[in-house]
Amino acid sequence: MTTAADTFAAFLDTLAETLDLGGEERARRLHLSRFHLARVVTATGGEPPERMRRRLLLERAAYRLVSGDEQVVDIAFEAGFGSHEAFTRAFVREYGTAPSRWRQHPTRTQIEGPSGVHFHPPGSLRLPTSRKVTPMDLMTRMLEHHVWLTGEMIERAARLTDEQLDAPIEVPIGTIDDDMSIRSVLGRLVGQLAQWNAAVEQRRYDWDQERGKSLSTLRRELGEEGPAFLAQVRATVEEGRLDDTFLDVTCEPPRVFTYGGMVAHVLTFAAVRRLVVLGAFETVGITDLDAGDPMEWVAQPA
């Protein structure tokens, strides 16, 4: 049985695809009369569907004003207004100033609405979330990004010759690593995950075996060690054990660490090593990973 919430969710999906079309088309796609759709949307979302649509079109127009150089009149027509004057009146009512002046000193783009649905740049709708992102969620996403980006760097490294892979990298970053090359730093990025997996399981770890590995070996080991590391971090987070300690027998002499300290260590030093590799890539013309910024990755739904 279809509930009002189901209909509202379907309406929002359709609205995202038909924001520039009229209400009849949305009702047709949902196999509902326009009257029935309006009644359900108003009851569930707190505002009539066309009022919501006009609000979202204004939010999109505000985004267009600050993200492009189109004429205000063109943005007005795109937003469904028949004239520059009508658009200006509606814009002033919601944003407190004329669009041309707001463009010079932009503030918020979202207009308050009871449904909590807003235009999300560059071209979608964002619904109010029923689940809040916690600091632990963010930490886990950053680790997922690290494992993913390490894999992408290994794939890019496959374009290079052995001479390029083993060329010395001269970067003054203290005592993190000695005799750095693209191959050796990639080996340490993968090895770091393997080493901490061993530490948590209280297994010995052979540090010397990290150097000189082929890219195919690094790819295979990342495929094993990356998911294993993420799995044990997720389990630790879910069980609330980040403050728990373990004896790391990979050290000489063995030392006691917390799981949270381990995660902080990996994120910190992995970020430095990734930048070293990405900088070396840039010198040989590989630039499509930019600086490996996790910002967009973290913003994506998990």
Domain that holds residue 38: 4-126
- Gap between the Cα atoms of 115 and 174, Å rounded: 53
Q: Tell me what pLDDT residue 128 has.
A: 59
Q: How many CA atoms lie within 13 A of 263 on its CB side?
A: 27
* Same domain assignment for residues 18 and 113: yes
* Same domain assignment for residues 146 and 295: yes
Q: How many CA atoms lie within 13 A of 119 on its CB side?
A: 24
Residues in the chain where the model's pLDDT stays below 70? 1, 123-124, 126-133, 172-176, 299-302
Condensed to tens digits (0 to 9), the pLDDT of residues 40-58 reads 888 888 888 889 889 999 9
Distant-in-sequence, close-in-space partners of 293: CB < 8 Å, separation ≥ 6:
none
- Gap between the Cα atoms of 87 and 79, Å rounded: 8
Number of domains making up the chain: 2
Which residue, 92, 109, 126, sits at the end of a domain? 126
Q: Tell if the pTM clears 0.95, that is, is over it.
A: no
Beta strands per DSSP E along 98-178: 118-120, 124-126
* Same domain assignment for residues 140 and 87: no
* Same domain assignment for residues 162 and 108: no
Tell me if residue 6 falls in helix, strand or coil.
Answer: helix
Condensed to tens digits (0 to 9), the pLDDT of residues 254-270 reads 888 999 999 999 999 99
Which residue, 126, 152, 181, sits at the end of a domain? 126
* Same domain assignment for residues 40 and 157: no
- Gap between the Cα atoms of 56 and 80, Å rounded: 11
Please, are residues 113 and 52 in contact by the beta-carbon 8 Å criterion? yes
Q: Tell me what pLDDT residue 290 has.
A: 82
Q: Tell me what pLDDT residue 215 has.
A: 96
* Same domain assignment for residues 175 and 207: yes
Distant-in-sequence, close-in-space partners of 171: CB < 8 Å, separation ≥ 6:
180, 276, 279
CATH code for the domain of 54: 1.10.10.60
Q: Tell me what pLDDT residue 91 has.
A: 93
Distant-in-sequence, close-in-space partners of 282: CB < 8 Å, separation ≥ 6:
none
Q: Is the peptide bond before 253 cis (omega within 30 degrees of 0)?
A: yes
The residue type found at 279 is G
Beta bridge partners of 258: 245
* Same domain assignment for residues 169 and 191: yes
CATH code for the domain of 206: 1.20.120
Distant-in-sequence, close-in-space partners of 263: CB < 8 Å, separation ≥ 6:
139, 143, 233, 242
